[in-house]
Structure 1
Amino acid sequence: MEVILKEDVNNLGHRGDVVKVADGYGRNYLLPKKLAMEANAANKAVIEQMKASAVRRSAKEKGEAEQLLTQLNDVALVFERKVGENDHLFGSVTSADIAHGLETKGFNIDRRKVHLDEPLKSLGEFLIPVKLHREVTAHIKVTVKAEEAAAE
């Protein structure tokens, strides 16, 4: 089945692309979630208008992302976590934690844009990529340190 993508879909294509997908994937996932529409003659005429507006929208989003990039590169987040022996963390720092930390500093970033291969489970400093746009990626300095023990 051929579909026209209305939005960027990871590992498939970008907005406005005509792609060939399995019938079930198109019918059960892409079409109901309004991520794509069937590629027929009428829709192919509409796609030209969509591509023009997509180029304008993408340029605007990229400009906003580059502006945000300059602000985010100076941001450093510090997380305190309980540790056991050998500096082993109880719990971890996840992309949701990082997104929440950015939100407290005034940046509204979706947790799915924080690219963490796996949660941070050790102490130290990490450089975490945040994909703001298809072509713009910021790197945030995240420090995980031991929580201070309460006075006994």
Structure 2
Amino acid sequence: MTVILKKNLANLGSIGNIVKVSSGYAFNYLIPHDFAQLATQGRLKHHRMFLNIKQKKLDEIQDKLQFMAQKFNQIPKISVKKKVGNNNQIFGSVNDKEIMTKLFYITGEKLDKKNIYLPNIKTLGIYNLNIIFTSDVRISIKLQILPFFV
């Protein structure tokens, strides 16, 4: 008997999977506990329709991320000015908000804080700034910390 899973089950699969099980298991356990529903023609068609819609949305998001990655790849370097003390050590630190505003000013694209990975910056110099959109789409930009004189 074929059923569509409504919940994640360790031994069968995850939500939305179509699996074959024995009729006793389906009627005595899965369906009464609302873990699955019978896979009729209409439900299978409905399930495929939702899978297609979900895939289209994922493709649109992937295309947008690729477009954003192309914009960010055109940036060779970002410069940030900070107050410095002895031994070229900066006062405070470089934070995500500064980087996000610089990148927004350059590209017009807004980033989330979770996409930016900054190294621990304490002195002047050039660092690698990593921007990770997904596991496939990663960008590395040079971040230059310059002295700011009052």
Cα RMSD for the two superposed structures = 2.9
Q: Which amino acid aligns with 2:114?
A: R
Q: Which amino acid aligns with 2:115?
A: K
**Counterpart position of 1:96:** 97
C-alpha distance in 1 between matches for 2:111 and 2:87: 33
C-alpha distance in 2 between matches for 1:65 and 1:74: 15
- Which of residues 38, 41, 45 in structure 1 aligns to 2:36? 41
Q: Secondary structure at the match of 2:60?
A: helix
Structure 1 residues 41 and 64: CA distance shift in structure 2, 3 A:
same
TM-score by length of 2: 0.62
Structure 1 residues 125 and 54: CA distance shift in structure 2, 3 A:
farther
**Counterpart position of 1:110:** 112
C-alpha distance in 1 between matches for 2:142 and 2:54: 32
Higher strand proportion (structure 1 or 2): 1
4+ runs of 1 displaced by more than 4 Å?
Answer: 45-51
**Counterpart position of 1:123:** 124
C-alpha distance in 2 between matches for 1:129 and 1:83: 24
Shift of residue 71, structure 1, vs aligned partner: 1.3
C-alpha distance in 1 between matches for 2:131 and 2:80: 17
Q: Which amino acid aligns with 2:64?
A: E
**Counterpart position of 1:80:** 81
C-alpha distance in 1 between matches for 2:91 and 2:135: 35
Shift of residue 64, structure 1, vs aligned partner: 1.4
Runs of 5+ consecutive residues of structure 2 not aligned to the other structure: 1-5, 16-33, 38-42
Shift of residue 48, structure 1, vs aligned partner: 6.1
Count of aligned positions: 115
Shift of residue 41, structure 1, vs aligned partner: 2.2
